[in-house]
Amino acid sequence: MSEKGMFGIQGSGDTSGFGGLVNTTVTVGSTERPFGGYFDQVADDLERAYPLFSDAIEKVVVDRGELTLFVKRDRLFDVAKVLRDQLRFEMCISVSGAHYPSEVGRELHSVYSLLSITRNQRIRLEVCVSEKDPHLPSLVEVWAGTNWHERETYDMFGIIFDNHPGLTRILMPDDWSGFPQRKDYPLGGIEIEYKGATIPAPSERRSYK
């Protein structure tokens, strides 16, 4: 009898429980003005405060009620300082990573969620780098709270934050090989150093009858 995944899916070979369901990745293009809400104000204020705005910002995307500024790697630090000092985005809430293997030359994305307490506004920055050159400037000097977030993003995705005060793994052992949240990381069958245990491959984890 063939193995069956969730929702009655058969024949996919996927027994991880998700039935071979695949979410199609859609690349969102640059949003045309007006962006709506306070997003136009943020873009206008940043453009006035940072003369290199048009060179630094690859695109502005408004999707699902969120504003994302795609920033060039070599302008990230300067844009972050302007956002903190002049636009009053005092907090970086999180730094996270994403891996898009199909985006050749920009496979790794780092996403920064920013909060302005003064303006009661939220925006995001997103920067893309390649797997072969996964370097970004650390923003710990701008927002001290990014310290552990950058370490986790490095640990899970292999993005290297230059000038970070202590860029070491934070979840995995120091000698761990690979970056567990990349799309090409094995789902199972990886030897674990703890007590000599192993993680079974997905096809061996569950029995479907």
List of E strands, 15-162: 57-63, 66-71, 91-99, 108-116, 121-129, 135-137, 160-162
3-state SS, residue 61: strand
Could you give the percent of the chain with pLDDT greater than 70?
A: 77
Contacts of 122 (CB under 8 A, 6+ apart): 66, 93, 113, 114, 115, 116
- Indicate if the pLDDT at residue 75 is higher than 90: yes
Q: What is the pLDDT of residue 21?
A: 55
CA-to-CA distance for 41 and 198, rounded, in angstroms? 53
Q: Is the pLDDT of residue 203 over 80?
A: no
Higher pLDDT, 149 or 197: 149
pLDDT, tens digit (0-9, with 9 covering 90-100), for 3-14: 555 556 566 555
DSSP state of 94: E
pLDDT at 85: 97
Angle at 30 between CA 93 and CA 41, to 5 degrees: 60
Question: What is the per-residue pLDDT for 197?
Answer: 58
Whether domain 29-182 has CATH 3.30.460.80: yes
- Boundaries of every domain in the chain: 29-182
* Residue range 144-174, pLDDT digits in tens: 999 999 999 999 999 999 999 999 999 988 8
Q: What pTM did the predictor assign?
A: 0.80
Report d(CA 106, CA 109) in Å as an integer. Answer: 7
